[in-house]
Structure 1
Amino acid sequence: MERATFYRHFRHLDDLIADTVGHLADQRLSELRDARDGEKEPRVVEAEIFTAYLEHIAEHWRLYRWALWQQRSGATFIALLERMRSGSAMGLDGIVLDSDLGVQDDRLLAGFAAGGMLGGILEWLRDDEPEQEPEQLAARLFSASGLGRSPSGTTVN
């Protein structure tokens, strides 16, 4: 691809990476939405999809580490945060909370959960190689975020 063609579609390399990473996250969200009509509990499906996404990050460790940790690509960070917020909003659906929350509060909780999960991923990316397996990280992040609980309060594994 020639430089002029590239810049017609993307202003910066960050925009290309954000678009690519965002596209993959969109695929995972689509799988989650489709699975909500299936037999498994939605949070179990969400945990499986999140684990698969972390496995993808581990497979492409150098790219994600470069984009999110070394380069500190704001475009990539925002693209992932938005997708994780959408996924967290689906995961929060049905969680029994102590108070009646409105739509605005649900968005705040989803943003909070997404920010924490993305922060955990950023910490994971600090090292040259993954120190923790994706399954372990997914379980820990889900537990910490509150998304690993079913409406009855039991932990989703």
Structure 2
Amino acid sequence: MSQNSPSTDLRVRRTRKLLRDALVALIAERGFEALKVADIADRAMINRATFYRHYRDKHDLLAHCMDDAFEELKARMRPPESDGGALDHGAPLANSEAMLAHVAENADFYRVMLSEDGAGTFVSRLRTYLRESSAERWQVVATYAAADPLMPPDLILHFVASAYIGAIVWWVAHDCPGSAAQMASHLFTLTMQGPYRAFGLQPPHESNYS
């Protein structure tokens, strides 16, 4: 039988899923740094030789887990493009909903990766991805609306990315209450209109505090 046969590919996918599920479960229990390859293999109920046929070490396994998560996430996102010369104002909300649906479907993974026992590299990669995708979006906005930023754009993008990560941490910690659409709407209000509006208050004018 060819090594590239469907049955072989299925076994490979199953083995890798077992290893990745084992990694997530063990990080939740012990933290990533305390883990050994033998721990992961034992939890996945495979031998170490099988582990090394798929991954170099636990860091390689973690990197592949993160790569897969980001590839799945990116595949759901709508590109930051205009439609027939008109800016697509629905894209940010739709993308937030798609991202949050992905988070909800992989809540255990995100809960672990964003925890104190998770991998700091995941938080950094997620923040970079969110910041870069927001930058692409605002570059499109700038072509249709003259804007003079009131502060460094990179500060704005970093703030929005960090706010989203904080909201995702809260959401998965509370077992993803409500729907992805509801959470996307909440985030839209928070990031586009601010905390005062979210609390049902009128935002204060800066001159009142000058």
TM-score where L is the length of structure 1 = 0.72
Q: For residue 115 of structure 2, give the secondary structure of its aligned residue in structure 1.
A: helix
Q: Which shows bigger deviation, 67-76 or 7-16?
A: 7-16
Distance 2:135 2:115 in 1: 26
Note if 1:135 corresponds to 2:201: no
Q: Percent identity?
A: 21
Aligned length: 142
Q: CA deviation at 1:5?
A: 3.7
Correspondence 1:7-86 to 2 at 5 A: 7-8=55-56, 11-29=59-77, 31-33=78-80, 36-38=81-83, 41-69=87-115, 71-86=117-132
CA contact (8 A) 2:135 2:157 kept: yes
Distance 1:130 1:100 in 2: 34
Question: Structure 2: which 5+ runs fail to align?
Answer: 1-11, 13-49, 195-210
Q: Which has the higher contact order (CA 8 A, sep 6+)?
A: 1
Q: CA deviation at 1:11?
A: 2.5
Distance 1:99 1:14, change over 3 A: same
Q: Max radius of gyration: which structure?
A: 2
Spell out, residue by residue over 1:117-148, the C-alpha distance to the aligned partner (whole angstroms, 9 max, x if none).
11101111112x22122111111112211289
Distance 1:71 1:13 in 2: 16
In structure 1, give the amino acid aligned to 2:178. Q
C-alpha RMSD of matched pairs (Å): 3.1
CA contact (8 A) 1:54 1:134 kept: yes
Distance 2:76 2:129 in 1: 9
In structure 2, give the amino acid aligned to 1:23. E
Distance 1:107 1:25 in 2: 23
In structure 2, give the amino acid aligned to 1:86. E
CA contact (8 A) 1:91 1:147 kept: no
Distance 1:83 1:90, change over 3 A: same
Distance 1:24 1:9 in 2: 23
Correspondence 1:87-126 to 2 at 5 A: 87-93=133-139, 94=141, 99-100=148-149, 105-126=152-173
In structure 2, give the amino acid aligned to 1:51. E
CA contact (8 A) 1:58 1:134 kept: yes
TM-score where L is the length of structure 2 = 0.56
Distance 2:148 2:91 in 1: 26
Question: Structure 1: which 5+ runs fail to align?
Answer: 149-157
Distance 1:22 1:67 in 2: 13
Spell out, residue by residue over 1:91-128, the C-alpha distance to the aligned partner (whole angstroms, 9 max, x if none).
434377985468xx21221111111011101111112x
